[in-house]
Amino acid sequence: MSDFVHTISFDDLVEITKLIRNVYGFDFVGYSQASLKRRVTRIMQLNNLSLFEIRSRLTNDSAFFDQFLTEVTVNVTEMFRDPGFFKVLRNEVFPYLASFQRIKVWNAGCSSGEELYSFAILLEEQGLYSRSFLYGTDINTRVLSKAKKGIYELSRMKQYSENFIATGSAHSLSDFYTAKYEAATISNKLKKNILFSVHNLVSDGVFNEFQMISCRNVLIYFDVELQERVIQLFYDSLCMLGFLCLGSKETLRSNEMAKRFRVVSKTENIYQKIA
């Protein structure tokens, strides 16, 4: 990171976000400045761009903006990240979900789909998949096309399998993908009831009613005001007694919101809408 040539100031960052808003209508207001600065600096380093060059590319080259959008947002994800979370889902949330006729799940900020497929596997394991439908949304079309394919590096599967075992599953993760060459492809039967599509938490609204919404490690990059707005969006998108799952370092923010949810798991940050 400490390549001093490609460093920008916070003022430069404000200029860049203004430019993006004017040219593409894409608003980074409410995003963490520190995180954004680090990501933009990284893009400048990887592509060897000066401040002048990155501004001119962003202004004139919409294909570059697509690439920029992919790299500026954090797309690091895993299957069964935080096994303890999935354990609570299986033992305390899914028995409840089973009582709904249809189970609609929204994974907001799904990136390349690893978490959504983890939910699909868990639902399949519990015999609930056939009456479930899972939506994965992200602002980023490139990661969504990777998610749709459901093909991951085989080398990552060792870690994912360890995570899966740590969730307390009686199955093997390899029951749910096929390995060929260096790739692991998620089974087609798990892709049947899944839809990936573009949705921007900052500017788009409610698009369906869900029994469970999971949005983990996305809100950490938003300021308090934007977090509150997005939590409201989740509240409005949940059916009564539906579940909201946040990342281990995220909260419902306001006391008023906290009153409308029952805490299912304090450590894993799982809530149920009760009012």
Partner 1 sequence: MVIGCSAGGFSLMFDILLSLPAEFPLAVVVIIHRSRKHKSSMEALLQKRTKVTVKLADGHEQMKTSVVYFAPTDYHLLLEPNGTFTLDCSEPLFFCRPAIDVTFESVSDVCKDKVIGLLLSGANQDGANGLAYIEANGGLAVVQDPSSAEVDVMPSSAIGTCKNPLVLNNSDIFELVSQITALKRTLN
Burial class from Cβ neighbours inside 10 Å (0-12, 13-18, 19+) for residue 48 reads exposed
Shortest Å, Cβ 166 to partner 1: 9
Q: What residues between 205 and 234 interact with partner 1 by CB under 8 A?
A: 217, 220-221, 223-224
| Residue 81 to residue 85: CA distance in whole angstroms | 8
Burial class from Cβ neighbours inside 10 Å (0-12, 13-18, 19+) for residue 140 reads buried
Shortest Å, Cβ 224 to partner 1: 6
Q: For partner 1, which is the closer residue by CB, 33 or 50?
A: 33
Q: For partner 1, which is the closer residue by CB, 124 or 250?
A: 250
Q: What residues between 16 and 45 interact with partner 1 by CB under 8 A?
A: 32-35, 37-39
Shortest Å, Cβ 41 to partner 1: 9
**Residue 209 · residue 240 · CB < 8 Å:** no
Q: For partner 1, which is the closer residue by CB, 46 or 206?
A: 46
Spatial CA neighbour of 217 closest among 114, 122, 132: 114
230: its two tokens: 């997005």
Q: For partner 1, which is the closer residue by CB, 202 or 241?
A: 202
Whole-angstrom distance between the N-terminal and C-terminal Cα of the chain?
Answer: 47
| Residue 271 to residue 269: CA distance in whole angstroms | 7
Residue 116 bridge partners (DSSP): none
Stretch that binds partner 1, among 1-9, 118-126, 133-141, 174-182 (CB under 8 A): 1-9
Q: For partner 1, which is the closer residue by CB, 77 or 272?
A: 77
Q: For partner 1, which is the closer residue by CB, 135 or 221?
A: 221
Q: What residues between 63 and 92 interact with partner 1 by CB under 8 A?
A: 74, 76
**Residue 237 · residue 210 · CB < 8 Å:** yes
Shortest Å, Cβ 106 to partner 1: 20
| Residue 214 to residue 33: CA distance in whole angstroms | 24
**Residue 264 · residue 81 · CB < 8 Å:** no
Q: What residues between 148 and 187 interact with partner 1 by CB under 8 A?
A: none
The size of the interface with partner 1 (CB under 8 A), counted in residues, is: 21
Q: For partner 1, which is the closer residue by CB, 116 or 194?
A: 116
| Residue 65 to residue 59: CA distance in whole angstroms | 9
Q: Over the range 222-259, which residues count as b (16 or more CB within 10 Å of their CB) and which as e?
A: beeebbbebbebbbebbeeebbbbbbeebebbeeebee
Instruction: Confirm or reject binding of residue 2 to partner 1 (CB under 8 A).
Output: yes
Instruction: Confirm or reject binding of residue 249 to partner 1 (CB under 8 A).
Output: yes
Q: For partner 1, which is the closer residue by CB, 41 or 193?
A: 41
Instruction: Confirm or reject binding of residue 142 to partner 1 (CB under 8 A).
Output: no
Shortest Å, Cβ 9 to partner 1: 8
Residue 138 bridge partners (DSSP): 198
Contact footprint for partner 1 (CB under 8 A): 1-2, 4, 10, 32-35, 37-39, 74, 76, 217, 220-221, 223-224, 247, 249-250
